[in-house]
Amino acid sequence: MTYQIRTLAAAGALIALAAPTFAETEVKLGYALAADSHYGVAAKKFEEVVLAETGDQFSFTHFPSSGLGGEREVIEGLQLGTIEATIVSSGTLANFVPETGVFDIPFLFNGFDHARAVLDGEIGQGILAQFDNVGLHGLAWGEQGFRHITNNRNAIHTPADVAGLKIRTMENPVHLAAFNAMGAAPTPMAWPEVISSLQQGVIDGQENPLSVIVSVKLNEVQKYLTLSGHVYSPAMLLVSKPFWEGLDDAQKAAFEKAATAAAAEMRAYVDNVETTGVATLKERGMEVNELSGEEKAAFQGSIQSAYDGYYKTYGQELVDSIVNFK
């Protein structure tokens, strides 16, 4: 090799060493449940689609099982820009966008098709858009299912059976009002404290959909499951607004596509656990009863005073337009 060629080769090596490498942007994705839950499968799909659409521009780090803290803390992390993304229940969302609480009203939806149509329609999408005003960006509504009551004290058939029951609720004023009206003794509590509180007898029970009861194996700490279906439990794929604003249009489109696919994955998981979950929990030893239409009506009647408050907060027109949505 001539001196000139050697010099050029050395210079080329230096240039190659000095060439900027395009660093992947890390997406920290936190959620309260395990990797094999409805949140876990949605998170996996979300990552898959973003990576397929954007190549190596992003790397994902998953924090399942409340690895980044309770849902409220994680959402605050998104606002600060220290966490990029989360999948959360509606538990604390009304603390950030109060209108979200309307979906937490018990006996609002008559089934999955009704709830999904409202969330995917104008009302749901309008509320999703409001997260942009509070340092967040709502990408899509996901879902957990209809919530049911589990407890260690007694089987539940009538409102009298929940009298004084120490039941954990989410940190959600709408749920709290309903259980107070029923005559229970509700305690709002962040999810990471729930299992130990059940084990120690600090609370008698809790309420969550089959997706949660099965994936968390609540049968290990709860004896009775009452299929009350008292309230629909939506979930949301949220990203940090500072993170969102740093994305270009193509990247935003990729995240939107990924969120739609992730929400579909979550709903498919819920559909499946809705058909298999009760048998699984019976096999694991839970005592299960389902409220009849008449029994459900008695529970609905027992929370009339809470409804007066809901109408005041959300407006009867909005509540009625959801109930009557076709």
Please tell me whether residue 86 binds ligand PAF under the rule CB under 6 A: no
Nearer to ligand PAF, 88 or 273 (CB): 88
Task: Count CA atoms closer than 13 A to 239's CA, side-chain side.
Answer: 20
Please tell me whether residue 218 binds ligand PAF under the rule CB under 6 A: no
Please tell me whether residue 210 binds ligand PAF under the rule CB under 6 A: no
Please tell me whether residue 89 binds ligand PAF under the rule CB under 6 A: yes
The piece of 51-59, 83-91, 103-111, 263-271 that touches ligand PAF (CB under 6 A) is 83-91
Please tell me whether residue 314 binds ligand PAF under the rule CB under 6 A: no
Nearer to ligand PAF, 86 or 302 (CB): 86
* Angle (CA) 267 268 271, round 5°: 85
Please tell me whether residue 102 binds ligand PAF under the rule CB under 6 A: no
Q: CA-to-CA distance for 219 and 165, rounded, in angstroms? A: 18
Q: CA-to-CA distance for 203 and 12, rounded, in angstroms? A: 69
Among 150, 208, 228, 313, binds ligand PAF (CB under 6 A): 208
Nearer to ligand PAF, 144 or 302 (CB): 144
Which residue type sits at 128?
Answer: L
Write the CB contacts of 134 (distance below 8 Å, at least 6 apart in sequence): 79, 96, 97
Q: CA-to-CA distance for 46 and 50, rounded, in angstroms? A: 6
Please tell me whether residue 212 binds ligand PAF under the rule CB under 6 A: yes
Please tell me whether residue 229 binds ligand PAF under the rule CB under 6 A: no
Please tell me whether residue 211 binds ligand PAF under the rule CB under 6 A: no
Tokens of 93: 């969302």
Task: With beta carbons less than 8 A apart as the criterion, state whether 258 and 49 touch.
Answer: yes
- Taking the alpha carbons at both ends of the chain, their separation in whole angstroms is 80
Residues that bind ligand PAF (CB under 6 A): 32-33, 71, 88-89, 91, 144, 170, 191, 208, 212, 233
